[in-house]
Structure 1
C-alpha cells in the first residue's frame, strides 16, 4: 500500500482476517496429502441486490494489499498454538507460507452482473482456501459502497459529490468506504485518512458546534472567514436560514464561496436561498446540501439550484444493500497430484438455489453495432473469435508477484466509461432486472 506521496505505508498482517474453518480445512488437507493439489476458485454473485441494474467491482487494490501482507507472524502462530486451532505440522506450514499462485479478474471500476467471474484465484488448494474470507470481506464491502456511489453519481448528473460518512461506520471501514465511493464517482471525502492513504481530495469547513461556540452567528462567520478566506463554505441553518444568508454575504461579501444547508425541505430551502443570494449580489456563491441524502433524494433535487451534495450514512452502508452477496467457490481442481495434471471442473449442487457452475471461466461483454453493451457472456473452453477483443479479465498477480496494480484514478475513470457504455436504463432508480442479461457458453 502507498500513501499519496508514493511512500510505502506499514500494513499489518492480514493472515487472521479469516475464519477458523479455513485453517482446519488446511490441516485436514495437509494430512490427506491433497493440500498441494492445483485448484481454481472464483468469486461471483448469483444475483444482484434487489432492484439494482448492475454491480461495481471495487476493492481490487485492497485485495492486492491483503494478499501481499498475508503473513503469519510469530505472535499469531503462538495464539493459534495456545488456542489449539491447528496442529504443529500445520503451524510449521503456516510459518513459511507466502502466496505463490495467480490471481486475475475484472479490473477495478468495471461493472458486473450475476454469474460474472469477478475474481479468479489459482494455486494450491492450501494457499487459495486461506484467502477466501479476506477477499470476500473486501470485495463485498467495497463493491456495495461503490454501487451505491455509482447510482448517486448518476442521479447527481455531473454535480460534485462529497463522501462524509466516517462517523456512521467503523473507523477502518470508513477509509475503505471513501476509497470505494471515489471509484464509484464521488469527487472528494471528509476523511483525512482516506486522503492520506489514497490521495483522494479532502474537504470540510465547520459544523453547527462552531456556530454555537460563538456569542453570535456573525461572530462565528467572521471568525471562519478571517481564518479560511471568503471562498469558504458557511453553514446557514443553525438558527434562521434567511438571516444567516444575509449575515454570510454581509461578512464575506458577494465573493462568498458557498453556503451549506443541512436540514429542512431541501428543495424549497435551496430555491429560497438561491433567490436571496442573487438578490444580495452573490450570484456565484454555490449551494451545498447535506442531511441524510441517498440516490432518491439526490434525484428529487435535480431541478433545484444545488451545486453539490454531501452524503454520509446511506453511502457507507450501501444505500440499503451493505453487501453484494459475493461467494468464493472451488470451480476446478487437478485430477491428480502431478504438477501437470489436467484441471477437472467441480461444482456445488446443493438445494435452495445455491448452485455453482464448474470450470474455469472467461467473460466478455458483447456490444451492438453502436458500441452499446447488450450482454454479459460467460463461458468455459475456447473464446469465440468475435468476443476475443471484448474479454473483461486482467492479470493481477502472477506466481505470487503483483502485476496489476494501478492508480486509483484509473479505476475511477474506468467505471465512468463502463457506466456510460451501458444502456440508458442502467441509470433508472426504479426496481428492475439487471440491465444486461448473462449468457453462458460451453458450461458443463
Structure 2
C-alpha cells in the first residue's frame, strides 16, 4: 500500500523551486499549443523503458518520492517568469499562463521499490497537454537517475547475500546526485550511507569513522588508533591497511580489546586479506570483531567475496554510476489525447511510428501475473481495464489526484516493498550473468513485446 494509515509524510523543502529544471522545448511547445488552441486538450503521457541495460534481468523503480516533492515545488514565480521573458523564450500570453500554473491532473505509477521490465508503464500522467508536457524533463531526470542507481544497488544487495552494504559514493559524483543516490540505494537494500544530507533529508542511517589521512596525521598508527578509540569508543571501525595489515590488527586488538567493533580493509586482494585478518582476529580472541571491505567494489566483486569471511561491504563509484548503466533510458511519450478541451471528450490513442523508436498508443494498465508458488511469470500490459487473477498484482497506484499528492509514503515502505518484489521474481532474476529479462512483458491487445 502507498498510503500509511494515520501518518502524513511531509514534502522535502527544495529551496528555490524546480520549474526551470527543464528543457526549453517544453516551453516552446507550450507556447505554440496555446497559440494553436490545442493546449487544453486532454492528454496522457507514459514513462517506460524500451529495454533494460544489456544483460540486466529487472529494473527497480526509485525516485517517486523525490518526483512528488519536485512536482509540488514546480512553480513559475516572478524570478522564473522574468528570466523567460527577458531571454525571449516565451511570449507575454505564455508568461501569464505560467504565472498561474499548478498541475491539476492525475498521476499513477508503479509504487517505489517495485520492479519493472521492458515496456512497463511505470508512470502515467494525465491532464491537459499544457500541464502534462511541462513535466517531461522533471520526471525523466529524476526517474532515470534514481532507477539506474536502485537497479545497480539491488544487484549488489542480492550479491551480498544478507551482509550489510554501506553507500559511500559521494566523492565520485555531483554533490546533489550523491544525496539522491544514497536514497535510491537505501530503497534497494543498502543499510547505511556516508552522506549526511541524505540522513537529514530522507532519514537514511549514516555511518563513518576515518580515512587513511587520519592515520597519516599521527606520529604512529598506534597513536591514531588511540585517538579514534578515545573519541568513538571500542565499537568503532579501525582502518588497518595504511601500512602493515597484520601489525595494525594486532595493535587494534591490543588497544581496544576483544570488543573492537570492526576493522576495515581498503586495498589488496580483499578475499585473501579478509581470510588472514579473520584468522588473526580469532586467534587474538576478537571473534566478534567484524571485517568490512571497501575499494572499487561492484556486484561482481561482491559476489566473488561470497565465500570470504566478510561481514559488510562499502561501495562507492560503481553504485553512484549505476555500475555501468548510469541511466535507465526511460522515455516520456504521449500515448493518448482528445480532439477537444472538454474533460469528458473521448480520448484517441496516438503513437510514434519512427523506425527504431516506435511507441504504443493508448493509456495502459499493468498486472504482474503470479503463479501458485508465489512467483511472477508475466507482466501483462493492456489498454483496457486490468483483469487480475486471484494471485496477481495490479501495479499502478495513485500518486497525484486532481493536482494533490496522495502517494507520498515513508522511505521504509519503499524499502520493504522492494524486498517483497524481488522475492516474487523467478530465480533467474538474481543471476549476474547476461540474460533476458526475468519476467516477459505481454500485451493483451497484440503486437511485439520489443518496440525497438
Shorter-chain TM range is: over 0.9
**2:154 match:** 150
Q: Is the 8 A contact 1:366 1:387 kept in 2?
A: no
1:398 aligned onto 2:401: yes
The range that moved more, 7-16 or 249-258, is: 7-16
Summarize the alignment of residues 278-317 of structure 1 with structure 2, pairs less than 5 Å apart: 278-317=282-321
Aligned-residue offset at 1:337: 2.6
Summarize the alignment of residues 408-419 of structure 1 with structure 2, pairs less than 5 Å apart: 408-419=411-422
Provide the secondary structure at the position in 2 that maps to 1:386.
coil
**Unaligned stretches of 5+ in structure 2?**
1-7, 448-452
Q: Is the 8 A contact 1:372 1:422 kept in 2?
A: yes
Distance in 1, matches of 2:410 and 2:187, equals: 11
Summarize the alignment of residues 374-385 of structure 1 with structure 2, pairs less than 5 Å apart: 374-384=377-387
Distance in 2, matches of 1:56 and 1:413, equals: 13
Distance in 2, matches of 1:345 and 1:317, equals: 36
Q: Which of 325, 337, 342 is residue 341 of structure 2 equivalent to?
A: 337
Q: Is the 8 A contact 1:377 1:439 kept in 2?
A: yes
Provide the secondary structure at the position in 1 that maps to 2:377.
strand
Q: Is the 8 A contact 1:156 1:299 kept in 2?
A: yes
Aligned-residue offset at 1:387: 7.0
Q: Is the 8 A contact 2:27 2:134 kept in 1?
A: yes
1:233 aligned onto 2:213: no
Q: Which of 68, 73, 82 is residue 72 of structure 2 equivalent to?
A: 68
Distance in 2, matches of 1:435 and 1:203, equals: 34
Alpha carbons of structure 1 residues 5 and 278: separation in structure 2 relative to 1, 3 Å? farther
Q: Is the 8 A contact 2:107 2:401 kept in 1?
A: yes
Q: Which of 321, 335, 353 is residue 325 of structure 2 equivalent to?
A: 321
**2:4 match:** none
Alpha carbons of structure 1 residues 5 and 383: separation in structure 2 relative to 1, 3 Å? closer
Q: Which of 422, 440, 443 is residue 440 of structure 1 equivalent to?
A: 443
**1:91 match:** 95
Provide the secondary structure at the position in 2 that maps to 1:394.
strand
Q: Is the 8 A contact 1:380 1:443 kept in 2?
A: no
Q: Which of 252, 255, 265 is residue 256 of structure 2 equivalent to?
A: 252
**1:368 match:** 371
Alpha carbons of structure 1 residues 385 and 424: separation in structure 2 relative to 1, 3 Å? closer
Aligned-residue offset at 1:10: 4.9
The superposition leaves residues 163-215 of structure 1 with CA deviations (integer Å, 9 ceiling, x where unpaired) of 00000000000000000000011000000000000011000100000000000
Distance in 1, matches of 2:340 and 2:227, equals: 74
Q: What CA RMSD, in Å, does the superposition of the two structures yield over aligned residues?
A: 1.4
Summarize the alignment of residues 22-61 of structure 1 with structure 2, pairs less than 5 Å apart: 22-61=26-65
**2:200 match:** 196
Distance in 1, matches of 2:169 and 2:157, equals: 16
Alpha carbons of structure 1 residues 387 and 14: separation in structure 2 relative to 1, 3 Å? farther
Aligned-residue offset at 1:12: 2.5
Provide the secondary structure at the position in 1 that maps to 2:389.
helix
Equivalences, count: 440
Distance in 2, matches of 1:23 and 1:388, equals: 44
Distance in 2, matches of 1:324 and 1:187, equals: 23
Q: Is the 8 A contact 1:365 1:387 kept in 2?
A: no
Distance in 2, matches of 1:8 and 1:263, equals: 38
Aligned-residue offset at 1:11: 3.2
Provide the secondary structure at the position in 1 that maps to 2:75.
coil
Q: Is the 8 A contact 2:399 2:406 kept in 1?
A: yes
Q: Which of 160, 163, 172 is residue 159 of structure 1 equivalent to?
A: 163
The superposition leaves residues 384-426 of structure 1 with CA deviations (integer Å, 9 ceiling, x where unpaired) of 3537952100000000000011000000010010001000111
Q: Is the 8 A contact 1:107 1:394 kept in 2?
A: yes
TM-score (normalised: structure 1):
0.97
Q: Is the 8 A contact 2:14 2:73 kept in 1?
A: no
TM-score (normalised: structure 2):
0.95
Alpha carbons of structure 1 residues 211 and 262: separation in structure 2 relative to 1, 3 Å? same
The superposition leaves residues 38-86 of structure 1 with CA deviations (integer Å, 9 ceiling, x where unpaired) of 0000000100000100000000001101111100121111111111001
**Unaligned stretches of 5+ in structure 1?**
none
Alpha carbons of structure 1 residues 251 and 123: separation in structure 2 relative to 1, 3 Å? same
Aligned-residue offset at 1:22: 0.3
Aligned-residue offset at 1:9: 3.1
Q: Is the 8 A contact 1:57 1:111 kept in 2?
A: yes
